[in-house]
Structure 1
Amino acid sequence: MAQVENRLKNWSIPKVDPSQVYKINTFNFSQQDVIVITEENVAMKDEFTAINLLPEETLFKVKNKFKYLHIGYVQVALKPLFKEGLDVPVYLALRDKRHLRFTPSLLGIVQSNLEQRPVYFNCKLGLTVSLQDRSIMDTLSLDVHSQELELKDGSLPFAVSYRIYFKSMHTNLSPK
């Protein structure tokens, strides 16, 4: 049992080399590669939680220097913070909530169960957004829906981890 708990505790999202997402050009000074890696614990008040994934501080720093943000790749993982073996179905939907209708907002979706292991998925997006867009924080939103997990209020049943590979740019042409 301790071996299983240790394996789960030390699990992380498999890394993707940035050169698989973007061509690294050492002579192009008009673009800056930024890779953001964030992990947070999510309090599930109900069976449904929505999380905005874009880092506000990073966007604020690049907003005055660049005009566009190209989101190349997103990795999302959901780790259970409870004992292994519980039958807990989960649904994860990566969405662009600037869209008012559900179907056009979908960027990626997965349905799984946390009974044996964490759940993760990768999305190759190729999405360019203006840094002046008033709704930019809604561009990457993660909806987490769980079922059959009844915990006390304030319990933290999941750790959501995500990696966002993005590039800030002066122009919206050729974000390779």
Structure 2
Amino acid sequence: MTVSNKTMERIMRQDSNLSPYDGFRIGGIGKVLNQIGLNQRKHHIIYKVSSGEFAILIEFTGNVMEMQLIPKEEILEELSRLREKIAVTMKWIHIGTIEVVIKATFKEGIDSEIHLSIMDRRINNLRDGYLGTMIGNLYAGKLMFDIHPRIAYNLADQDFSRVLTLHQDFKEKI
């Protein structure tokens, strides 16, 4: 924690009844910060389950495609539904789990190998940018995979559109 000189002076002037071991107990430091008015913020945690459906035209199945999984507009829309007092405090989005389901909607049992990967495109090193990968075949019917990245992204990030992308590569044109 970084503290400015002015804040440090306020802390030092504060008369506290803390023993040398209070800092090691939960609430010891929080008690001091509360006394001088620095620990006023309450954390707001909001859970959201989002689902989307993307259709891929059959003529594009022979190409490598990239889709954005979490549009920033969707997040801003959700924030606009919150009370303004809470919405302005939201700076980060935490992503716990992503589930992807792929199925052929035009014909069942198509023998076509597909490679899927979820990436964070902001990371330049491809190995570090991969969050999850799956290789399957549409012949089996539905393909489903889950990843649990447990990562957080700053909403002020200018590169937010590249945060999570789904890459699909059909190995043969259907």
* TM-score normalised by the chain length of structure 1: 0.64
Decide which of 148, 151, 154 is 2:172's aligned counterpart.
148
How much has 1:106 moved relative to structure 2?
0.2
In structure 2, give the amino acid aligned to 1:80: A
Structure 1 match to 2:107: 83
Matched, 1:97 2:121: yes
Q: Tell me, which stretches of 5 or more residues in structure 1 are unaligned? A: 1-27, 151-176
* Residues in 1 aligned to 2:69 and 2:113: alpha-carbon distance in whole angstroms: 22
How much has 1:116 moved relative to structure 2?
2.4
In structure 2, give the amino acid aligned to 1:132: A
Moved over 3 A (4+): none
Decide which of 80, 87, 90 is 1:66's aligned counterpart.
90
* Residues in 1 aligned to 2:140 and 2:150: alpha-carbon distance in whole angstroms: 32
Matched, 1:123 2:139: no
How much has 1:45 moved relative to structure 2?
6.2
* Residues in 2 aligned to 1:41 and 1:83: alpha-carbon distance in whole angstroms: 14
- Secondary structure in 2 aligned to 1:31? coil
Decide which of 111, 114, 117 is 2:135's aligned counterpart.
111
Structure 1 match to 2:71: 55
How much has 1:29 moved relative to structure 2?
6.4
* TM-score normalised by the chain length of structure 2: 0.64
Q: Which of these two proteins has the greater Rg computed from alpha carbons?
A: 2
Q: How many residues get paired?
A: 123
How much has 1:32 moved relative to structure 2?
1.4
* Residues in 2 aligned to 1:32 and 1:86: alpha-carbon distance in whole angstroms: 41
State whether residues 50 and 143 of structure 1, in contact with CA within 8 Å, keep that contact through their aligned partners in structure 2. yes
RCO comparison, higher one (Cα < 8 Å, 6+): 1
Seen in structure 2, the aligned counterparts of structure 1 residues 34 and 85 have a Cα distance that, compared at 3 Å, is: closer
Q: Which has the higher helix share?
A: 2
- RMSD of the alignment, in Å? 1.9
In structure 2, give the amino acid aligned to 1:67: K
Q: Tell me, which stretches of 5 or more residues in structure 2 are unaligned? A: 1-41, 80-86
- Percent sequence identity over matched residues? 23
Decide which of 149, 158, 169 is 1:134's aligned counterpart.
158
State whether residues 65 and 169 of structure 2, in contact with CA within 8 Å, keep that contact through their aligned partners in structure 1. yes
Q: Which has the higher strand share?
A: 1
- Secondary structure in 2 aligned to 1:87? coil
* Residues in 1 aligned to 2:118 and 2:146: alpha-carbon distance in whole angstroms: 10
1:151-171 deviation digits (Å, cap 9, x = unpaired): xxxxxxxxxxxxxxxxxxxxx
In structure 1, give the amino acid aligned to 2:63: E
* Residues in 1 aligned to 2:89 and 2:161: alpha-carbon distance in whole angstroms: 18
